[in-house]
Amino acid sequence: MINELKAPQEVPLEGTNPFELRVELSKGVSESVVKQALETGDLGFLHSFTTGSAVDGPGVRLVAWTAGCQFRCLYCHNPDTWNMMNGMAIPLERAIAEVSKYRHGLKIMSGGFTLSGGEPLMQDRFVVRLLTAAKGMGIHTALDTNGYLGEHLSDEELDQIDIVLLDIKTWGRARHRHLTGKDPGPTLEFARRLAQRGKTIWLRYVLVPKLTDDENDISHIAAFAAGLGNVERVDVLPFHQLGRYKWEKLGIDYKLNEVEPPAHDLVERVCGQFRSAGLKAY
């Protein structure tokens, strides 16, 4: 059944830009196919591919954006990726073929393949099989995740991933629940496990004025990250409004209409906090 599925012909795999709105691309896919896909990884639900990214891991990256996320971050730039059925149903073999097309170029440019989302681990079987295939082609692999479902990966499966781009959203249970709708514990536990296994982390922190700029919270995150010993760098990502139109189009209540991107001084202060803890921050 899965092998007969094709992505909608009129929607190209490659997105026109990282903030393209894509909805209901798997509308006709039955529940039993979805269930089977999640169990086997024979089929994935992807928002799009992006080529030539310079910000999603080392070197130049091919990025596959998965659909489906269990967080509901107030600052999310891509709420169309919350619902798995908004993504295109792509057979694993087709996704592997897409990665394979770029394998020589990615190696020449010291880059690799990154799976991002959405939250990729909502489709952990597909993710593991795709990353394993990429690794088998000699391609550097990265997983960009909020870490909440990290326990879905065995130690052997983690070995297929060269680097984890781990999003830590904020500090403290109440704040984390307010910001994302979920507890922070599983993410922090996943970070500790990655540290125990010596897996490199690039930590990502979205900086939103008056929402994630609390000095005390950031000190805690910086101390936690520095204590892990495997955080190679921290990327402080300034909030922007490029995804706002998606909230409007999807009819979801957006709480950050009035929020401006952080001023340069604030970005520097936060980077400085991570640096003071002994981390490289950009």
Footprint of ligand SF4 (CB under 6 A): 69, 71-73, 76, 78, 81, 117-119, 146
Q: How far is the CB of 40 from ligand SF4 (least distance, A)?
A: 24
Please name the helix (run of DSSP H) or strand (run of DSSP E) that holds residue 90, with its range, or none: strand 88-91
Nearer to ligand SF4 (CB atom), residue 69 or residue 188: 69
Q: How far is the CB of 237 from ligand SF4 (least distance, A)?
A: 10
Nearer to ligand SF4 (CB atom), residue 111 or residue 117: 117
Strand 140-145 relative to strand 163-167, pairing: parallel
Cα–Cα distance measured from residue 213 to residue 209, given in angstroms and rounded to the nearest whole number:
6
129-168 residues labelled b (16+ CB within 10 A) or e (exposed): bbbbbbbebebbbbbbbbbbbbeebeeebbebbbbbbbbb
Q: How far is the CB of 78 from ligand SF4 (least distance, A)?
A: 6
Q: How far is the CB of 117 from ligand SF4 (least distance, A)?
A: 5
Nearer to ligand SF4 (CB atom), residue 58 or residue 68: 68
| DSSP label at residue 260 | P
Q: How far is the CB of 80 from ligand SF4 (least distance, A)?
A: 10
Assigned token pair, 163: 């680097």
| DSSP label at residue 11 | S
Nearer to ligand SF4 (CB atom), residue 33 or residue 84: 84
Nearer to ligand SF4 (CB atom), residue 6 or residue 249: 249
